[in-house]
Chains A and B, each alone.
Chain A
Amino acid sequence: MTRQTGLFMVLLLWLGAAGCPRQDPAALTFAVGGAPAELKVWESLIEDFQRQSGIAVRMLRQPTDSDLRRQALVVPLQARQADPDVFLMDVVWLAQFAASDWLEPLQERMARDGIDEGVFFAPVLDLVDRYRGAVVALPIYVDGGLLYYRRDLLEKYGFSGPPRTWQELVEQAGLVQDQMRESDPEFSGFVWQGAQYEGLICTFQEVAASGGGGLTAGEGGLGLDGPANRKALQFMRDLIHRHRISPPSTFTEMREEEVREAFQRGAALFERNWPYAWPLHQQPGSPVRDKTGIAPLPHFPGGQSVSTLGGWHVGISSHSDAKEQSWALVRFLLERRTQKRLALELGWNPGRRDLYGDPQVLARHPHFAELRQVFENLLPRPVLPYYSRLSVVVQRHLNAALAGDAAPGQALRAAQREADEIAARYEKE
């Protein structure tokens, strides 16, 4: 070996050593994501927690996009990494995470520390946070689909209130849209999430279940191809192509933010969206500030209003090397005081029911009174470990039907066929 090669080897070794990470084993890692404003609140909450408990927390900043957030969790969990110890999960991942044994059961610690399950919304806790009888996650914030409407326009055109049935919605939207189009050719009667993504499932479930259908009409897997679901999908398609009160871009572009933006710009009479849109509609400078109302979503005659359950839940990794410290953080996050801060500062809808009557919270967010009602009757999407596979397939077929590429019955039958195969694959084990 010449001298040069020897030197080269030394250099390599040095580079290798420099690349080794040094980690503080005592620190707790908390994975949390969101918009910059949300991350700021999280930072300050974590600081409070560290001061209060003396436990060091490392915040693992995640992006806003929920697919990317899931990816950033699935990889370390599948690899049995000790970090992150604590993380937030979208409600639809819970079954997958729980069935994969990635979540530490919380039941015993809850009983030990006297945490009352009754402070949380019962359907949320029972339907999604419990896996095989044991609580594995707790709701940090609860979401449900709502109907936003322009109070000023309904009044102006002589309607006494928001629509209770889908038929009424079509009539009101049609009339107002005709009038408004004279000055604003881009005005739409009703904007909602119809692009090929998870939001489409939420909207579809709300429309379908409000007429006796839904995603879990069958037993075991999904029951998609029934008369109520066909009617619902036909209705959604008619909104775009026949009644023409929803823009053609509904099935290509309309996700939460596009929908919110259209309504907030003043270009829509009705909007289906999550509660997060409320503080944004009400912010200073918003063209729809103080002109907006919220109501439960409409239903078909004989049915009742349905709101899809969304939201984020906190859990502890079963691979965590600091479970007690993690539990302390979870408890802190669910404390009344913390939840109240999230509600006041971010307008988040707390997972705790007792805050919806809190005078300070109500003064800041009067709509919480109505939200509480909606939240007692939330409908979760199918709670299955392989839900996201089903969702991807169903989204694709629903979206094709909205685009006009497939008849509703045909789309639902095709979706059912693929859903059955998926269920067979994952359930026979």
Chain B
Amino acid sequence: MADRTRREFWESLPFILPLVLWVAVFILVPVLATLVNSLFLDVSFLPIRWLGPENYRRLLEDPGFWQALRFTVLFALVSVPLELAIGFALALVLNEPLPLRGWLRAVVLIPWAIPAAVSGRVFQLIYNYHYGLANALIRQLGLSAEPVNWLGSEPGAFFALVAADAWKTAPFVAIILLAGLAAIPGELYRQARVDGAGLVQRWRHLTVPLLRPVLVVALLFRSVDALRVFDMVYVITGGGPGGATNSLSLYGYDFFLAGDFGYGSAVSVVLFAIALLLSVIYLKAGRFAKELR
């Protein structure tokens, strides 16, 4: 038996090895290198020097870092549930046998297929003070004679970004959940109906529990993506007004541009740690590992 397992291992090795190498070279090594880098004074115009945790101590006292952290966490907390709710609703609708369903599914995916920098540009035009669509609508509907400076206040800029992000990524959630819905055998529903379960009961006791692993995947993907939000912010607000929408990745990026690779790495490591912690919590809470087994 042991011999057989060993032989299977050696035979499967060539097939697993490329992937293991891939993960090691392109994920593990960069992450570790970043971690090591964050412990150095690594500034392009200064002699490199060991610092230990000094960069992290500095982060704790850096108001710009706290501002970015606050924005990033709030952004994830607000945008992810919103995207999940919209995505779930879309998935439920698209799962019904509607006319032109295949066509509808394709259309819904369009926002997701557009690169974030491009859709960011589009939203920037929508929010434009002078000739943006948002202000044109407000004028048409007679809500306000004066145009609104959407990106001019902290909450305004925040929700403008949340809206843009939700528009772009809710379809992604919808498609993942749709796949989950399709995987639930139809006879379970028929059986439940025979047993007298109503629509709400079928939804609560069948759809939601059976969809949980897929929900957790969607939640995980979206949360990690929301935490490292960069392109939308870079394009739409550039971090303004007054740094109110600086995301952690945008904040770290500025350090790399300025040649301070050590400190920038420290920001990245913090972001990575938050994302990792969140992933672990999700996987535990979703009892995902058990479902997989």
Contact = CB atoms under 8 A, between A and B. Distances in A.
A260 to B, nearest CB: 14
B258 A389 contact: yes
A278 interface: no
Contacts of B96: none
Contacts of A406: 242
B241 A388 contact: no
A374 B43 CA distance: 36
B231 interface: no
A102 B45 CA distance: 9
Interface in B206-234: none
B153 A195 contact: no
Please indicate which of the listed interface residues A249, A393, A429 has the most CB atoms of chain B within 10 Å of its own CB. A249
Interface string B253-271: 0111111110000000000
Contacts of A195: 238, 240
Interface residues of B, number: 43
B240 A8 contact: no
Contact of B242 (A100, A196, A388): A196
B46 interface: yes
Contacts of A401: 242
B164 interface: no
A405 B154 contact: yes
A253 to B, nearest CB: 6
Contacts of A426: 43, 45-46
- For the residues of A in contact with B, the DSSP-based class is helix
Interface stretch (A70-78, A119-127, A283-291, A345-353): A70-78
Nearest to A67: B257
Contact of A388 (B128, B153, B243, B258): B258
Nearest to A406: B242
A405 B44 contact: no
A249 B129 contact: yes
Contacts of A386: 43, 45, 258, 260
Contacts of B162: none
B130 A74 contact: no
Given A247-B129, A403-B152, A429-B47, A252 B243 contact: no
Contact of B153 (A100, A399, A403): A403
A252 B242 contact: no
Interface in B141-155: 149-154
A183 interface: no
B18 interface: yes
A251 B241 contact: yes
A196 B14 contact: no
A406 B63 CA distance: 15
Interface string A164-196: 000000000000000000000010000000011
B80 to A, nearest CB: 26
Given A74-B256, A388-B254, A396 B130 contact: no
A396 B244 CA distance: 9
A396 B129 contact: no
Nearest to A15: B18
A262 interface: yes
B152 A248 contact: yes
A392 interface: yes
Contacts of A102: 44
Please indicate which of the listed interface residues B18, B241, B243 has the most CB atoms of chain A within 10 Å of its own CB. B241
Contacts of A262: 130
A389 B260 contact: yes
B247 interface: no
Contact of B259 (A5, A78, A393): A78
Contacts of A67: 257
Contacts of B171: none
Contacts of A267: 130
Contact of A252 (B15, B41, B149, B258): B149
A242 to B, nearest CB: 16
A1 interface: yes
Please indicate which of the listed interface residues A71, A99, A253, A400 has the most CB atoms of chain B within 10 Å of its own CB. A253
Contacts of A425: 58
Contact of B241 (A8, A78, A400, A414): A400
A26 interface: no
B14 A418 contact: no
A70 B15 contact: no
B242 A400 contact: yes
B120 interface: no
B240 A196 contact: yes
Nearest to A387: B258
A12 B64 CA distance: 47
A385 B45 contact: yes
B130 A249 contact: yes
Contacts of A389: 254-255, 258, 260
A424 to B, nearest CB: 11
Interface string A396-413: 110111110110000000
B128 A253 contact: yes
Please indicate which of the listed interface residues A78, A267, A393, A403 has the most CB atoms of chain B within 10 Å of its own CB. A403
B237 A252 contact: yes
B11 interface: yes
B149 A197 contact: no
B46 A429 contact: yes
Nearest to B243: A396
A253 B256 contact: no
Contact of A253 (B11, B14, B151): B151
- The 5 nearest A-B residue pairs measured at CB: A400-B242, A249-B129, A196-B240, A99-B45, A396-B243
Given A195-B238, A396-B243, A399-B241, 7 more contacts: A99-B44, A249-B152, A252-B150, A400-B244, A418-B64, A425-B58, A429-B41
14 contacts: A96-B258, A96-B259, A100-B45, A101-B45, A196-B238, A252-B241, A253-B124, A386-B43, A386-B258, A400-B243, A405-B241, A405-B244, A414-B63, A418-B63
